[in-house]
Amino acid sequence: MSQPRLRIAVFGAGSIGCHLGGMLASAAEVTLIGRPAAMAAIEADALTLTGPDGFRRTVGELSVSADPGAAAGADYVLVTVKSADTATAARELAPHLGPGAVVVSFQNGLHNPAVLAAALPAHRVLAGMVPYNVVRTGSAAVHQGSGGSLMLEASRGVEVFAEAARASGLLLELRPDMPAVQAAKLLINLNNAVNALSGLPLREQVGQRAYRRCVARCQGEALAAFRAAGVAPTRLGPVAPGLMPWVLRLPDVLFQRLAGVSLRIDATARSSMWEDLQRGRPTEIDSLQGEVVALAERHGLTAPANARLVALVRAAETAAPGAAPAWTGPALLADLAAAG
């Protein structure tokens, strides 16, 4: 007798949530829970996933809803809301989760699993990490612009989810060191604000030394704060965390030789923060650069480059969608240097 299919709900089905749910739908029963307009578009047109190397998949075999109650009966609930909405998501999910439901935070930032666990004490909450960029390319279409493996906290019984993920075509690693993974991801995500302010595709922006030097300043401040806090980010790619700022400061030719192959960013990839500004939505700047500023302050340090980027992104949030001026690399670097 065959085992029943795994039931998965994705709460906060934006770009990342639609990508994860859409991929998993080939190996599990999936329900996307998101904004009414977005869910209506997917119901009308079916979800289209695209990605590296010409990947394309049209997904018809999933359910959509705007009601948190649609999470009832799910074996796994993947939370993909913005960090500022995590506590609200937990409150909305709490009445509907079955006794054995496992909640997985596939979110940016360091604290979302703890926020969920505090609000959902009867449920197992696991940390997850999405290493790549996903943006919406249409009302019912999302595009994965770079590669990498999902990471999920190793825990009892989680192999059943891992098997479904791998069967669906997702790369996934089970990790015993998720706090170190999340710290490393935060270092990488400090580029999001720089990309959003540049207005450029990621590959073009990362290819310019002045922008990379902006990110290197942010990462240097973050690494100092992590050291003060006793946090050791793990190595996620070819470069150790402590060497990231040095690599980013290299001249363009040397940088491309050292990191070009490993980047594998397609020409259309953008950061999720850029997408938020284009759509007039609040960004996650407080959970990225803002997290570095707060951590530094708790340990008697300063993080002026990160603090300045928080201010610049907040200013861009107040502009009309897509109307914030784009910063050149030299101008942004000079502004951050003037901050301290």
Q: In CATH, which of 1.10.1040.10, 3.30.10.20, 1.10.1370.30, 2.60.200.30 is domain 181-339?
A: 1.10.1040.10
Question: Over the stretch 143-165, which tens digit does the pLDDT of each residue have?
Answer: 998 888 999 999 998 999 999 99
- Residue 2 pLDDT more than 80? no
The whole-number pLDDT of residue 237 equals 84
Q: Where are the domains of the chain?
A: 7-176, 181-339
As a whole number, mean pLDDT of residues 39-46 equals 93
The whole-number pLDDT of residue 1 equals 44
The whole-number pLDDT of residue 327 equals 97
- Asked whether the domain spanning 181-339 has the same topology as the one spanning 7-176, the reply is no
Question: Over the stretch 278-291, which tens digit does the pLDDT of each residue have?
Answer: 989 999 999 999 99
As a whole number, mean pLDDT of residues 62-84 equals 96
**pTM of the complete model:** 0.92
- Residue 92 pLDDT more than 80? yes
Question: Over the stretch 17-35, which tens digit does the pLDDT of each residue have?
Answer: 999 999 999 999 999 999 9
Question: Over the stretch 228-245, which tens digit does the pLDDT of each residue have?
Answer: 999 999 999 888 999 999
Q: Do 188 and 247 form a contact (C-beta atoms < 8 A)?
A: no
- Residue 259 pLDDT more than 90? no
- Residue 9 pLDDT more than 50? yes
For residue 249, give the amino acid letter: R
CB atoms within 10 A of CB 184: 25
CATH says 7-176 is which class?
alpha beta
